[in-house]
Structure 1
Amino acid sequence: MPVGNIYLIAAIAIIGGGLFGFDISSMSAIISGKPYRCYFSSSRLADGTCPGPNSDVQGGITASMAGGSWLGALASGFITDRLGRKKAIMIGSVLWCIGCIIVCASQDVAMLIVGRIINGLCVGICSAQVPVYISELAEPKLRGRLVGAQQWAITWGIMIMFYISYGCSFINGTAAFRIPWGLQAIPAIILFFGMMLLPESPRWLARKDRWEECKDVLILVLGKGDPNSKLVNDEFVEIQAYCEFERQNADVTYLELLKPHMINRTHIGIFTQIWSQLTGMNVMMYYITYVFAMAGLSGNNLLVSSSIQYVINVCMTVPALLWVDKWGRRPTLLVGATLMGTWLFANAGILATYGHPAPPGGVDGIAAASWQVSGHAAKAVIACSYLFVASFAPTWGPVSWIYPPELFPLRVRGKAVALSTSANWAFNFALGYFVPPSFENIKWKTYILFGVFCVAMFIHVFFMFPETAGKQLEEVEDMFTDINGPKNIGTLAWKTHVGQRAPKNAIVSEKLAALGRTSDEHVKSEMV
């Protein structure tokens, strides 16, 4: 008998998000360590120290996981439509284990990159399909909290693996990085066997005309085992109404997402993920040790101070899980962009005013740590970095995963979210590769660049991103096709509010009327 408690379902599924978190902090904690720098070093200095891979190579190593994730996210659209959300996530967990084996056994940079690409395939699949899976099972009032829990899992993965990597940093030899990379496989094993206990998405089952199974899942999850639950019957009627209405459309391809009636929400979904990367948060996660090295920290102080931001990340994600469905998506994104832009510009100003170029070769032999600041200014840089993380965690962090699955109708949701998530990983790849050379060449101006992005995303969200909180997934469709709004845009974004929606019965009746049926006829046909 599958598990029916939606909180337990979400708790198992979001382990897929935790895998990405494990990767982030295992790299950020390991890349500054002597064993890693010596083993994968591009050269050895005259004094015998190891500078580690040069900036371009380290950027490529870090970005390789995101490159695999981009491919995995795109492929997940086909996998999930054919095999289902549940099996897609299970396939991802298997790929992660394979990648971990190769990474753990890496003999050179090439082998390390291959393993990280395979890890990336898993992260791409899971990051695209876990939000879809949860959003299609959860009722509207819980959807934001449960889908946003994926971001919380990412933060937990980051924090747990960082401290594991920190503990292993005291080990001499290659075990210092091989042990953390090997331990990453454990959550994937738990995810694989845990998913066996969970039901399939009822909306995916409906698309495959497996109506009995669809209703059984709704009874299990929404009705708590009561087949006569009004919530179950209402949801079942609405799902079927939309499925029948959508079946009049042609088979879905990625090109469907570029057609006039779909392009607006496609661009919103894609830019939600692009902007979440251009905030600079993942840069802060991967390369925080570089930033703090510029502020004069080294050794254990460097790692411990870096770890504080991971604790902040975990704690500050909790408010979003509790209240994001009340706050709404738009205000949360707007406030987040404003605060993050503030801290980024502050850091740029502090570094420009009180900092100076580092000696040739960078701080502690790290070329990317090319700028130095000390005294009270260094403390201010660290404080702004912490405040930046505290601003991202309850805003763009969870909402970037919550928002895209809410934008699209059922027939295209799997591929649409896959395309949106692929944009996340494309930019993650670009930034992972770009940032070390950026710190080396344009130094503190890197912060200016990301601050400008935050200003741009504020403007974009205000004018183009409608509110989806409190609405059923099927009801969002009507908001985008509002005949009173501009063509192919629907209701103007700044005129939308939390929970503002047409009555459910009116929406179902409208769809059924297009099919030449009434709600009563539909209910009777399904009760037979």
Structure 2
Amino acid sequence: MGYSARIASNPYVVGSFACIGGGLFGLDISSMSGVLNNKSYLRVFNKPGPTAQGGIVASMPAGSLFGALLVTQLADRIGRKKTIILAGIVWVIGAILQCASINRGMLVVGRVIAGISVGLSSAVVPIYQSEITPPAIRGRMVSLQQWYSVRAHQSITWGILIQYFIQFGCSYIDGVASFRIPWGLQMIPAIILSAGMVMFPESPRFLFDHGREEEALQVLADLHGKGDKTNELVVLEYEEIKQQVYFERNEGAKSYLDLLKPGNPRRVMLGCCLQMWSQLSGMNVMMYYIIYVFQGAGLTGTRSNLIADSVQYVLNVVFTVPAIIYIDKWGRRPMLIAGTLAMGFWLSLVGGLQGRFGAWGEIDGTPIWLVSDNEAATKAIIVCSYFFVCSFAISMGPVSWTYPAELYSLKIRGKAVSLATATNWVFNFALAWAVPPGLANVAWKTYYIFATFNFAACIHIFFMYPETVGRTLEEVEEIFQQGHLFTAWKIDKNVGKKTLDEVVAKSKHLPIDEHHDSMDEKSSA
């Protein structure tokens, strides 16, 4: 086997390379947040007001919603690999239009097209990763997706950071190149993604589902058994895929109406609501519009604003790491409850400081609620903003993508997760558009609105979200059968857990009591 073939059959390389697809969303967020106070950008696009700027930013998540809904059809019809390649091509088209845009309409079209790519990649990359990696490293690869790319995530952290520093470097350039160069450079990772994916294998799950069983077995052998089709792990994986495919053909959800059948609506709502709370936490304010936040805090210098912003993006990356490492140790509920409380607290402080020390003023002729001539208040607002981002990165960020996938039965999981993801994009779109007018009209009170959302989320999670960490799918099923609709905190850690006798008995298809007696007899003998 040649060097390139060995690389293409290495599950770590294949899974990590696909993460580039997730990073596109992060690139897009920073591509806008870094130019909001760029004089050349404001001149070319006729100084967009709050509503217009909100529409420009919101055009990307609008496209992403459409792209995410397309994945169900594309990934199953043309394959996971080809869908990722297509996402890269679509991104390049969107980036070209943005880079060459001469008016708002052209920019919005470019962002909608780029958004379609983000929707495609954010939905299909985790599917591809989970289907080409062996069980021993599958969780690790999904965590890589969270850290390196799309926030589901929240997987946008590295994309945001890299693009923002490109924006910062180009801020020293005079003229339109200061924003066109960063927008054009966005094409590079997408080109690498599409070109590189050509040499990687298709998902064995897709191949088997389309009658290409022998090809699926060969891919599994190359990825997990060094080419040996008789390898024990390869055979086990092949049988697992076969059983899953047969199950979905016979028992899988045929339509979204299956989500309304008894036992499903509560869990579907929990997944959708968690994605909703993730957006209503206010993280969009601190990512898309952080320049506006720091302007209002009194940090009006373009260069100093960009430097302060970059610290926030670094913190977002750094504090995602412990969340990924300890998410299975800390548990979902404690992370969500502590995170929402902390985010509500820090946003309340930001709003209080703005309201107490700010007043209406103007920056370049634009009315803005501004803290002026108060260095202590300015620094306090910036520090509270940093703490807010850290609180999100270590709690709601990763858990909002991990928890929904653990809620659902195998029969409805695909459609339920896709509905939860669609909810994320709907609220992303709405808030991206609503925040600039909010800051322009109700100013510091905007932070109190998002703080209230966080406190409401905390109450909702405390009463209705059971712990799922360390439980199998069957054990989660039993948790919801216990009831506890408004008393999720009462669920004992051992509810749903199987004893050793129960597990062994089930594996041998024996009644529990009968099996237990037989084990006792063997012990006596």
Shift of the alpha carbon at 1:322?
Answer: 2.3
Counterparts of 1:193 and 1:506, CA distance in 2: 50
Q: Deviations over 1:461-497 (max 9, x none)?
A: 33433444445xxx42x235339824798x9676375
1:420-435 to 2 correspondence within 5 Å?
420-435=420-435
- Over 3 Å counting, the alpha-carbon distance change for 1:267 and 1:236 in structure 2 is farther
- 2:328 paired residue among 325, 328, 339: 325
Structure 1 length-normalised TM: 0.84
Which residue in the other structure is 1:31 paired with? 36
Q: Which residue of structure 1 lines up, in the alignment, with residue 451 of structure 2?
A: 451
Q: How big is the shift at 1:180?
A: 0.8
Shift of 1:222: 4.7
Q: Alignment RMSD, CA only?
A: 3.2
Q: Is the 8 A contact 1:332 1:396 kept in 2?
A: yes
8 A contact 1:203–1:410 mirrored in 2: no
Matched, 1:96 2:91: yes
Give the counterpart letter for 1:461 in structure 2. I
- Residues 216, 78 of structure 1: alpha-carbon distance in 2 compared, 3 angstrom cutoff: same
Q: What corresponds to 2:190 in structure 1?
A: 188
Q: Unaligned regions of 5+ residues in structure 2, if any? A: 149-155, 510-525
- Is the deviation greater in 135-144 or in 321-330? 135-144
Matched letter for residue 86 of structure 1: K
1:159 offset after TM fit, Å? 1.2
What is the identity, as a one-letter code, of the residue corresponding to 2:312? Q
The 5 Å alignment of 1:382-461 reads: 382-409=382-409, 412-461=412-461
Which residue in 1 is equivalent to 2:518?
none
Deviations 1:141-199 (A, max 9, x none): 65444323333222111111111111212222211111111110111111112323333
- The correspondence for 2:116, drawn from 121, 137, 141, is 121
Pick from 78, 86, 89 the counterpart of residue 83 of structure 1. 78
Of 150-159 and 220-229, the range deviating more from structure 2: 220-229
- Deviation for aligned residue 1:15: 1.1
Letter in 2 for 1:27: M
Deviations 1:261-293 (A, max 9, x none): 433332232223222111111221111111111
- Name the amino acid aligned to 1:187: P
Which residue type is aligned with residue 272 of structure 2?
A: I
Cα offset, 1:112, TM superposition: 0.4
* Structure-2 separation of matches of 1:482 and 1:383: 44
Q: 2:351 aligns with which of 348, 352, 362?
A: 348
How many equivalent residue pairs?
494
Question: Which residue in 2 is equivalent to 1:339?
Answer: 342
In 1, Cα distance between equivalents of 2:504 and 2:15: 28
**TM-superposition CA deviations, 1:35-79 (whole Å, max 9, x none):** 0011112xxxxxxxxxx2111100000000011111111111221
Cα deviation, residue 356, structure 1: 2.5
> Using a 3 Å threshold, how does the CA distance of structure 1 residues 443 and 206 change in structure 2: closer, same or farther?
same
Partner residue, 2:8: 3
CA distances 1:217-260 after superposition (whole Å, capped 9, x unpaired): 44444556565555544444444444434433366333333433
Gap runs ≥5 in structure 1 = 42-51, 514-528
User: 2:17 — aligned with what?
Assistant: 12
Shift of 1:310: 0.7
Counterpart of 2:514? none
Structure 2 counterparts to residues 193-212 of structure 1, below 5 A:
193-212=195-214
Q: Following the alignment from structure 1 to structure 2, what is the Cα–Cα distance between the partners of residues 311 and 207?
A: 42
Q: Please give the alpha-carbon distance, in whole angstroms, between the structure 2 residues aligned to 1:503 and 1:96.
A: 50
Q: Which residue of 2 aligns with 1:523?
A: none
Q: Deviations over 1:507-526 (max 9, x none)?
A: 8997998xxxxxxxxxxxxx
- 1:306 aligned onto 2:309: yes
- % identical aligned pairs: 48
The one-letter amino acid of 1:104's match is C
**Residue 417 of structure 2 aligns to which amino acid in structure 1?**
V
CA contact (8 A) 1:320 1:398 kept: yes
Distance in 2 (CA, whole Å) between partners of 1:505 and 1:216 is: 37
Once the two structures are superposed, residues 309-349 of structure 1 have per-residue CA deviations (whole angstroms, 9 ceiling, x without a partner) of 01111111111232223333333222221221221112122
In the TM superposition, residue 93 of structure 1 has moved relative to its aligned partner by 1.2
1:401 maps to a residue whose letter is W
CA contact (8 A) 2:33 2:290 kept: yes
